[in-house]
């Protein structure tokens, strides 16, 4: 029989073009068993009229399904569900039941409940998003990224796209990082000393697993990137937070017995402090005296638009005691999840083996796309454009902040993409953030960056990487008004 045209509906929540929606509707009708083999479909004209779409749209959808052998056509007599169409399962799905398992007992290790920087998933819909680390569609070079991705999807690259590298990386990406990216940080490295990771966080995680145990000690900047603190506490090693000053982590404050020092010399996260050369040397000497290793997260080095970036700590490392963490996720886009580790061979060998066991390797297509984007010079051009835009926004920010007497706690004299702010004592920036959110302003409360039981609650971060200049001062005004309104010391004028 012919399937009654009335049984065909486009889901209101369906994705894609009309033609794709029709294709999905029919394919899924067949896969679910609603449409049976040899059943006749409505004519393209009939279905087009019924759905209120053009006949050609239906015809293209039918042709697609013909190619995939969901449908067969019998010349003039029209389209039928194909004999060879995928069959529905011979059994039906079981309804959900109550668990008989006692999960509090069954779960061997808990990982949930860590302090995180949450932002609304629809942050882009807010008018004043002073949030950190998201891609700005107005700055990102979407066209060239798309072209490079396309090329990496080409027949020529089929193997690099599809192959199971097991524990290897894309040789083209490794080659570029070794020949061009690292030399720009003053670092020399052979391919065996480089490992591609699923973003900087994955690099820090791998490093922690390889270098730290319950019997070892880590020194951590305070404040710092919260996810790093979670990673370290999960590793169960002993962690000592070291309070940073305007030059970053003070070497003398690093306790004896420290095995691994985690630091962000380019732009301290979140204070934006850039570590001066003399302190970098002092830090290396301190590490040598303690026979400790240093993990350098070369955080936002590309965002040095005010002064040219200093060479990486790793480039001053004559002992091989620095493990270097680089990332493309921040400068390209975080959803990319692409970073890398640079270190001595024995270390990289273990990190590689661990990565192979945890996830084998980062997806081939992403590695190859990045390799093209970098080697064609699009990456450096993008960084330059971003730097120019951020510099301009930063100027507007500084003026707006000064105009309203807001207190900057850390501004980063090399650049960066955010200000580390201090609200008057007594103000809880988490509540502040909630109230501002209702007014379309997104700021980041600062307490999550701090270690210890009693973190200060009056710090907050204002990033300018995702907000257009034109909206900055109005946004800062709203923040200042809210602070003034709730300041225990009364409004500030």
Task: Collapse the DSSP code of 260 into the 3-class scheme (helix H, G, I; strand E, B; otherwise coil) and give the result.
Answer: strand
Choices 47-55, 338-346, 393-401, 445-453; region in contact with a copy of itself by CB under 8 A: 338-346
How far is it, in rounded angstroms, from Cα 336 to Cα 16? 23
Contact 169, 361 (CB under 8 A): yes
How far is it, in rounded angstroms, from Cα 393 to Cα 32? 53
Residues between 235 and 274 that touch a copy of itself (CB under 8 A): 259
- Report which of 413, 388, 409, 403 is spatially closest to residue 472, judged by C-alpha positions: 403
Beta carbon of residue 59, minimum distance to a copy of itself (angstroms, whole number): 16
Instruction: Rule CB under 8 A: say whether 468 interacts with a copy of itself.
Output: no
Choices 245-253, 372-380, 421-429, 438-446; region in contact with a copy of itself by CB under 8 A: 372-380
Contact 247, 288 (CB under 8 A): no
Choices 182-190, 428-436, 440-448, 474-482; region in contact with a copy of itself by CB under 8 A: 182-190
Paired tokens of 110: 């808990």
Instruction: Rule CB under 8 A: say whether 87 interacts with a copy of itself.
Output: yes
CB nearer to a copy of itself: give 23 or 263: 23
Instruction: Rule CB under 8 A: say whether 163 interacts with a copy of itself.
Output: yes
Instruction: Rule CB under 8 A: say whether 36 interacts with a copy of itself.
Output: no
Beta carbon of residue 269, minimum distance to a copy of itself (angstroms, whole number): 15
Paired tokens of 270: 């979140």
How far is it, in rounded angstroms, from Cα 166 to Cα 358? 11
Distances (CA, A) of 187 to 291, 298, 304, 316, 343: 21, 12, 18, 9, 10
Instruction: Rule CB under 8 A: say whether 15 interacts with a copy of itself.
Output: yes
- Describe the crossing of helices 378-403 and 364-375 by its angle, rounded to 10 degrees: 80
Q: Which residue in the set 51, 239, 242, 336 belongs to the binding site for a copy of itself (CB under 8 A)? A: 336
Residue 144: other Cβ atoms inside 10 A:
17
Q: Give how many residues touch a copy of itself by CB under 8 A.
A: 145
Residues between 222 and 241 that touch a copy of itself (CB under 8 A): 227, 230-231, 234
Choices 39-47, 337-345, 402-410, 453-461; region in contact with a copy of itself by CB under 8 A: 337-345
Peptide bond into 316 cis (omega under 30): no
Query: Which residues, at least 6 apart from 252, have a Cβ–Cβ distance to it below 8 Å?
Result: 286
Q: Which residue in the set 34, 236, 281, 360 belongs to the binding site for a copy of itself (CB under 8 A)? A: 360
Listed in order, strand segments (DSSP E) in 48-131 are: 71-73, 79-81, 128-129
- Over the window 284 to 323, marking each residue x when it contacts a copy of itself by CB under 8 A and - when it does not, the resulting string is ----x----x--------------xx-x---xx-xxxx--
Beta carbon of residue 94, minimum distance to a copy of itself (angstroms, whole number): 5
CB nearer to a copy of itself: give 404 or 437: 437
How far is it, in rounded angstroms, from Cα 354 to Cα 359? 9
Instruction: Rule CB under 8 A: say whether 97 interacts with a copy of itself.
Output: yes
Instruction: Rule CB under 8 A: say whether 2 interacts with a copy of itself.
Output: no
CB nearer to a copy of itself: give 286 or 479: 286
Instruction: Rule CB under 8 A: say whether 470 interacts with a copy of itself.
Output: no
Contact 324, 341 (CB under 8 A): yes
For Cα atoms 317, 322, 324, give the angle at the middle one, nearest 5 degrees: 115
Beta carbon of residue 333, minimum distance to a copy of itself (angstroms, whole number): 4
Tally the C-alpha atoms within 13 A of residue 247's C-alpha that lie toward its C-beta.
12
CB nearer to a copy of itself: give 11 or 435: 11
Beta carbon of residue 460, minimum distance to a copy of itself (angstroms, whole number): 19
Contact 204, 231 (CB under 8 A): yes
Instruction: Rule CB under 8 A: say whether 35 interacts with a copy of itself.
Output: no
Q: Which residue in the set 42, 364, 410, 415 belongs to the binding site for a copy of itself (CB under 8 A)? A: 364
- Over the window 104 to 143, marking each residue x when it contacts a copy of itself by CB under 8 A and - when it does not, the resulting string is x-xxxxxxxxx-x-x--x--x--------xxx-x--x-x-
CB nearer to a copy of itself: give 107 or 485: 107
Instruction: Rule CB under 8 A: say whether 350 interacts with a copy of itself.
Output: yes
Contact 418, 464 (CB under 8 A): yes
The counts of H helices and E strands in the chain are: 15, 15
In degrees and rounded to multiples of 5, residue 424 shows phi and psi of: -55, 150
Instruction: Rule CB under 8 A: say whether 216 interacts with a copy of itself.
Output: yes
Residues between 52 and 71 that touch a copy of itself (CB under 8 A): 64-65, 68-70
């Amino acid at each position: 029989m012919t399937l009654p045209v009335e049984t065909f509906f486009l889901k209101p929540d369906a994705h894609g073009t009309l033609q794709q929606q029709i294709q999905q509707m029919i394919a899924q009708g067949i896969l679910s068993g609603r449409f049976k083999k040899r059943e006749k479909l409505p004519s393209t004209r009939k279905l087009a009229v019924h759905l209120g779409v053009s006949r050609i749209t239906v015809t293209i959808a039918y042709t697609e399904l013909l190619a995939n052998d969901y449908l067969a056509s019998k010349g003039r007599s029209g389209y039928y569900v194909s004999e060879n169409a995928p069959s529905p399962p011979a059994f039906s799905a079981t309804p959900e039941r109550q668990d008989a398992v006692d999960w509090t007992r069954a779960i061997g290790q808990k990982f949930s409940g860590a302090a995180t920087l949450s932002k609304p998933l629809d942050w882009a819909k807010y008018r004043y998003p002073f949030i950190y680390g998201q891609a700005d569609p107005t700055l990102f070079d979407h066209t060239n990224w798309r072209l490079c991705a396309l090329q990496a999807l080409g027949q020529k690259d089929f193997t690099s796209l599809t192959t199971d590298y097991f524990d290897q990386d894309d040789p083209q990406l490794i080659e570029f990082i070794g020949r061009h990216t690292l030399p720009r940080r003053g670092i020399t490295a052979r391919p065996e000393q480089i490992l591609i990771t699923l973003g900087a966080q994955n690099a820090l995680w791998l490093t922690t697993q390889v270098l730290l145990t319950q019997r070892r000690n880590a020194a951590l900047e305070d404040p710092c990137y919260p996810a790093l603190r979670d990673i370290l506490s999960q590793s169960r090693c002993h962690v000592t937070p070291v309070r940073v000053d305007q030059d970053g982590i003070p070497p003398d404050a690093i306790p004896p017995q420290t095995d691994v020092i985690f630091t962000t010399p380019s732009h301290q996260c979140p204070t934006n402090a850039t570590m001066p050369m003399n302190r970098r040397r002092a830090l290396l000497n301190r590490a040598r005296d303690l026979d400790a290793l240093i993990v350098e997260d070369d955080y936002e080095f590309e965002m040095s638009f005010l002064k040219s970036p200093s060479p990486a700590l790793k480039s001053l490392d004559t002992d091989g005691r620095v493990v270097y963490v680089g990332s493309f996720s921040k400068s390209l886009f975080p959803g990319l999840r692409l970073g890398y580790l640079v270190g001595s061979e024995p270390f990289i060998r273990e990190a590689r083996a661990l990565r192979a066991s945890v996830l084998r390797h980062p997806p081939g297509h992403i590695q190859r796309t990045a390799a093209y984007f970098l080697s064609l010079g699009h990456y450096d051009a993008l960084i330059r454009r971003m730097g120019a835009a951020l510099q301009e926004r930063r100027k507007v920010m500084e003026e707006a902040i000064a105009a309203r007497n807001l207190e900057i706690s850390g501004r980063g004299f090399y650049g960066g993409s955010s200000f580390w702010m201090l609200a008057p004592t007594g103000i809880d920036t988490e509540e502040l953030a909630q109230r501002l959110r209702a007014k379309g302003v997104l700021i980041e409360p600062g307490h999550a960056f701090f270690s210890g039981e009693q973190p200060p609650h009056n710090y907050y971060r204002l990033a300018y990487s995702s907000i257009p200049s034109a909206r900055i001062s109005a946004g800062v005004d709203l923040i200042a008004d809210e602070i003034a309104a709730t300041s225990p010391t009364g409004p500030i004028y």
